[in-house]
Amino acid sequence: MNIIRFPGLMLLLCLFIGQQVMAGEKGSYQGWNTELNGKTNEAYTVADPKTSFGVFCSGEQCMFYLHQELNCSPGSKYSVLMNSQSISTALSMECTSINGNIFQILSPFDAVLKATQAGDGIGFAVALQSGAFAVTQFSLAGAKLAIERVLNEAASIKKREQAPIPLAPPQIFIVPPIQIVPPNNATPNQAPNQIINVMTMVQQQNSLPAVAVPGQIPSPTTVFQRVPDNKGDTLYVRDREEMGSYYEAIPVPPSGSFKFPLPNTLLQGLIDMSGANSVPSSQGYKYLLLTEGSRIIVSAVDGSELPQGVAYNASSRSFTVANLANVSLPISVKVSIERQGKVVSEKIIEVTK
């Protein structure tokens, strides 16, 4: 991949959509840079001319990304280990092609944001097919202020778009009643000429009961009254402690039956919390690998069996919901790692909208 210098997504996105964006405000915060261009804003840092890390916002939608020389297919998802002074955890990484260049989108967003708020540096390790790890390190000097500047700009865009448009005051016209006298050419048996008050006619018409008019299109809310049956929606697997982000998005088919895996990010977090990677080991970093004598326990929050209609397959590490109509949301599940009869780490996940 021949790349001279790609500091971030801003230039590539402009080329990708084929629009010319006027140069906006640029800023420098120690090791981080910002570029504010109206609806597209970015904060980033570079480790070398071919490697960068940052946050990009299009309107109010923001995402953290990596750009490095990795051979991954667009649309494919991988796991990446993130380490900083404030947090060490596993993330989900989706490869995205922008103007022929590969970027890795990181999630959950909140975990990456937390990692950038303290400390001097941050590192990412991606498992390669050879069994080794591709490790990149970035400076966090100035990251907090740079990222805050971009996120505040994204929030202000939302506020500007939601601001109400001032309406002109209504103009009131007072029209005096008009008297209409029919011509005096009444036929036999016809009533004599009468003075007709137009205002009276209007009042009478407005007092008539509403009648459906053939061919008139009713409002969508009248025709489409949705019955909330939870089918056909998208559900999210979330950490109860971080409900603002999610591990998995689950499209629910009309049948109401669906499956979802035990998230790798959750499992890696539990392994790290158990102390498996706290000391050097001859086996190296235990990536999604339980230590000897450890096992995964899945239960209801109180330690009892899973709710009726929810099943867990230990072999495939996946959950099955037979029919969502028979299950109450949220579905709360406690996932624990037990070692030698003692719980060493646990998390509660919730499946909800």
Q: Tell me: the pLDDT tens digits for 63-73? A: 999 988 777 78
Same domain, 14 and 148: yes
290's CB contacts (< 8 A; 6+ apart) are: 271, 276, 296, 337
Most confident of 199-203, 204-208, 307-311: 307-311
99 pLDDT exceeds 60? yes
Q: Of 291, 270, 295, which Cα lies nearest the Cα of 281?
A: 291
5 pLDDT exceeds 60? no
Give me the CATH number covering residue 250: 2.60.40
203 domain-assigned? no
Q: How far apart are CA 60 and CA 38, in angstroms?
A: 11
Same domain, 124 and 246: no
140 domain-assigned? yes
Q: Which domain holds residue 342?
A: 234-278+286-352
Q: What is the reported pLDDT for 205?
A: 40
List, for residues 219-274, the tens digit of each pLDDT value. 333 333 333 344 557 899 999 988 887 888 888 888 889 999 898 888 888 888 88
Question: Phi and psi dihedrals of 156, rounded to 5?
Answer: -70, -30
DSSP codes of every residue in 228-289:
--STT-EEEEEETTBTTS-SEEEEPPTT--EEEEPPHHHHHHHHHHTTTTSS--TT-S-SS-
- Among 130, 145, 162, identify where a domain stops: 162
10 Å Cβ neighbour count for 115? Answer: 25
143 pLDDT exceeds 70? yes
189 domain-assigned? no
List, for residues 21-53, the tens digit of each pLDDT value. 345 788 898 889 999 988 889 999 998 888 899
Mean pLDDT score, 275-289: 57
Give me 41's structure tokens: 């804003």
154 domain-assigned? yes
Same domain, 152 and 258: no
Same domain, 16 and 155: yes
79 domain-assigned? yes
Q: What is the reported pLDDT for 33?
A: 92
150 domain-assigned? yes
201 domain-assigned? no
Q: How far apart are CA 344 and CA 271, in angstroms?
A: 9
- Among 162, 185, 219, identify where a domain stops: 162
157 pLDDT exceeds 90? no
Same domain, 144 and 42: yes
Q: What is the reported pLDDT for 155?
A: 83
Same domain, 111 and 253: no
- Of 34-38, 85-89, 166-170, 273-277, least confident by mean pLDDT is 166-170
Mean pLDDT score, 88-101: 83
DSSP codes of every residue in 134-172:
EEEEEE-TTHHHHHHHHHHHHHHHHHHHHSPPPPPPPP-
* Residues found in the chain: 353
Same domain, 113 and 255: no
pTM tops 0.75, yes or no: no
Q: What is the reported pLDDT for 252?
A: 87
Contact 210, 195 (CB under 8 A): no
Same domain, 157 and 247: no
Domains of the chain: total: 2
- Among 162, 189, 205, identify where a domain stops: 162
Same domain, 341 and 240: yes
Q: What is the reported pLDDT for 53?
A: 94
